[in-house]
Homo-oligomer: A and B are copies of this chain.
Amino acid sequence: MTQNVYQHQDSKGREENANRARMLISCPDRPGIVAAVSQFLYEKGANILQSDQYTTDPASGMFFMRIAFDLGNLEQNLPALQEDFARIADRFEMRWSVYRAVRRKRLAIFVSREDHCLLELLWQWQAGDLDAEISMVVSNHDDMRGLVESFGIPFHHIPVTPETKAEAERRQLELTAGKVDLVILARYMQIITPKFIEHFTNRIINIHHSFLPAFVGGKPYHQAYDRGVKLIGATAHYVTAELDAGPIIEQDVQRVSHRNNVDELKRMGRHIERIVLARAVKWHIEDRLVVYQNKTVAFI
């Protein structure tokens, strides 16, 4: 067992969060939603700290809302509040959730042999910048056991071969289903099956490189080099059954030039990938994301 060399720091202001909740709502837009929700929270004694909303189309669109509020004795009072809110939710045909800020999301990070995305998440986590619990790291290789355990995080080596694929998935589900809140594919180079996705709808985040234009086929960095692209990008998205086509959460790019060879493009790609993935994870664990159809409403 490796010694834990990192001193994990709690996120700033966790004690403030004891009575804090975040509510995410989506429903067909019509007059009176904001009034009903805010009046309800006011009568319950909640103090709204932040409220964001968005309407796709005022005429006949969808309405989305995120409310952060403080409520005295939240732990005791939340169940009753939720029960009472159901009436409003029914009236407006809402899909909704409430999350207690103090209840950290449990993360499982899946990784293969590239460590840059994993390391960024571990570092931000130990610095107190990711207010979550990293429950485990799962990998189809054993390479990163020492690193992960040096952070005091459980590491599970689940090899994947064509023969063991079904068994591997069974073990992954056994470890995660009902036990983690978010699965992060931090350069995990195995296909996730529809069955696994089903257990984590809109709760699996993937990262991949992106280019303008996109390059079809293999070796995209070589293609990008051959075409002389000037920007290397990365996209974080929720995983759906269609490969790399799920709702986009975040994107960013870095400038490159003809002087950068394929290895350098890859290095820059790694850099932008870790930044973009960490942002997407942060937004998810702070309950800032609502998925609607194939896009993400990000209250940031």
Contact = CB atoms under 8 A, between A and B. Distances in A.
How often does this chain occur in the complex, in copies? 4
Contact of A146 (B3, B52, B211): B3
Contacts of A12: 263
Interface string A89-132: 00000000000000000000000000110010001000101000
B58 A34 contact: no
Contacts of A259: 54
Contact of A295 (B58, B212, B258): B258
Interface stretch (A37-45, A80-88, A167-175): A37-45
A13 interface: yes
Contacts of A211: 212
Interface in A206-265: 210-214, 225-231, 233, 235, 247-248, 250-253, 257-259, 263
A5 interface: yes
A2 B1 CA distance: 12
A215 to B, nearest CB: 9
Contacts of A212: 210-212, 214, 233, 235, 251, 253
A35 B31 contact: no
Contacts of A251: 212, 229-231
A294 interface: yes
A234 to B, nearest CB: 9
Contacts of A180: none
A38 B34 contact: yes
A14 interface: no
A147 interface: yes
A201 B32 CA distance: 35
A287 B74 CA distance: 37
Given A213-B214, A258-B54, A226 B294 contact: yes
Interface string A23-61: 000000001111110110111011111111111001000
A293 interface: yes
B32 A35 contact: no
A295 B228 contact: yes
A125 B227 CA distance: 29
B31 A226 contact: no
A150 interface: yes
25 contacts: A3-B146, A6-B146, A13-B263, A31-B46, A34-B38, A34-B48, A34-B51, A35-B43, A36-B42, A38-B38, A49-B55, A49-B58, A50-B54, A210-B213, A212-B253, A225-B295, A227-B294, A228-B248, A228-B297, A229-B248, A230-B251, A231-B253, A253-B253, A258-B295, A258-B296
- For the complex of A and B, the 9 pairs showing the least CB-CB separation, nearest first, are A228-B295, A35-B42, A35-B38, A210-B212, A5-B146, A214-B214, A34-B38, A230-B251, A5-B150
